[in-house]
Amino acid sequence: MAKKFFIRPGAMIALVLKTLFQKPATVDYPNKPLPMPEHFRGKLDFMPEKCIGCLLCMKDCPTDAIEIKKLGDKKFEMDIDLGKCIYCGQCVDSCLKKALAITPNFELAQFSHDKLRVVFNAAGSPDGTDQKA
């Protein structure tokens, strides 16, 4: 197709004028929020009040990104390594009590691997500051 423009320069001008008034094919991403599809698999969320400690999510994780620790009677803590997670959703599907959920949050880039490790304590909030990870 490139040869056609070199042979006929008028064809290139016609193409430029044709595309000049079309909408751009790209998205103005950081300036405008990007809508995610309905079943998009982003960052995991843990609800410790629903967890019964069966460890099925930990056993089903293909990358060993999840670690469950028992803190007390019916109190559990989940350590998720988002650097290892491949966001397959297997842990969410295998959770009997629906203590795990997938969020549409996809902005997970960090400068340090330590910030990709999120610990949900028994109170339900991540330890330390929430790093948007």
57 in a structural domain: yes
Max Cα separation, the chain? 79
Beta strands in 1-133 (DSSP E): 44-46, 66-72, 75-81, 100-102, 117-120
Give per-residue pLDDT as tens, 77-88: 999 999 999 999
Residue 61: pLDDT band with limits 50, 70, 90: very high
| Count of the separate structural domains present in the chain | 1
Closest to 91 (Cα-Cα) out of 130, 126, 41 = 41
53 in a structural domain: yes
Which residues, listed in sequence order, are joined to residue 100 by a DSSP beta bridge?
46
Residues ≥6 apart with Cβ < 8 Å to 60: 90, 91, 93, 94
Which CATH number is 78's domain given? 3.30.70.3270
98 in a structural domain: yes
Residue 5: pLDDT band with limits 50, 70, 90: low
2 in a structural domain: no
116 in a structural domain: yes
Note the pLDDT of residue 128.
41
Q: Which structural domain, as residue segments, surrounds residue 87? A: 39-126
Q: Residue 80 class from Cβ within 10 Å (0-12 exposed, 13-18 middle, 19+ buried)? A: buried
Instruction: Select the highest-mean-pLDDT range: 26-35, 69-78, 92-101.
Output: 92-101
Q: Which helix (H) or strand (E) holds 9?
A: helix 9-20
12 in a structural domain: no
33 in a structural domain: no
